[in-house]
Amino acid sequence: MRAALLFAPKFKGKKGVMRILELRGWSIVSSRPDYVITVGGDGSILYAEMKYPGKPIIAFNFGELGFLAPNKEKDMEKALISVEKGRYSVDEREKLEFSVGKQKGEALNDVLVASSVIGKALRLNVAVGSHKLGQFVCDGVLVATPTGSTGYNASCGGPVVEPGAAVITLTLINPHLSKLKSIVLSGDETVSISFARQNPGITVVADGLKSVRASHKAVIAIRKSKEKARLVRLTDSYFAKLRGAFT
């Protein structure tokens, strides 16, 4: 087995993890891994997917809740044995792709369109496919996958969506004088965002990791990606995590 390792910055047990892998005969590599092993929180998984897109991710939680990291770091050897014996399943998670002119990117959780200037609201037009949704004054727009619905989307008042649902969510961030806050869309739709007035700076952010600057003349398109993330699942823990976080 060939595995790439990614650790949260605060994790202090790197040598111990590497020793466990070496004793079990796993090779630690930086390119072309069979699996990516993360020890951290959801941010570590998002980074792993961005660095090694499509590779199966075995995630171990170190820290707080962590929706995407169901396994505990202390159970690592037990989990590796399950993987070696094929006693696991792979959850394929939908991703998003966005385009800003010739610039493109992908996200597992969400794509945020916001002002680059703190405290500066945007006046923007939002369309879903060929249908105009409306013009809004708000701090930004967040488009999220079901996987990302429990993250920034939920913090902004958006709905929590079961990971296997074939939908995307669109949530307005602090909309001014708008009764519309969030909407659940078919996963086949494309969200288009344009701007009704000049802005000093607009940023498109994928998973909080990759950012692209956009002109106020740009049209930003966000849709479901053809690619998927692959998360190794050893136990059924999603609804248990959901109960712990929201009930």
**Tokens 């014996």 appear where?**
85
Centroid of chain to Cα 85 = 29
Q: Please give the full DSSP string across 172-199, using - where no structure is assigned.
A: EES-SS-S--EEEEETT-EEEEEESS--
Q: How far apart, in Å, are the Cα atoms of 8 and each of 1, 5, 38, 176, 192?
A: 22, 10, 8, 37, 35
d(CA 166, CA 31): 32
**Tokens 């959850």 appear where?**
91
The helix (H) or strand (E) run that includes residue 168 is strand 167-173
Q: So which residues are the catalytic ones? A: 42
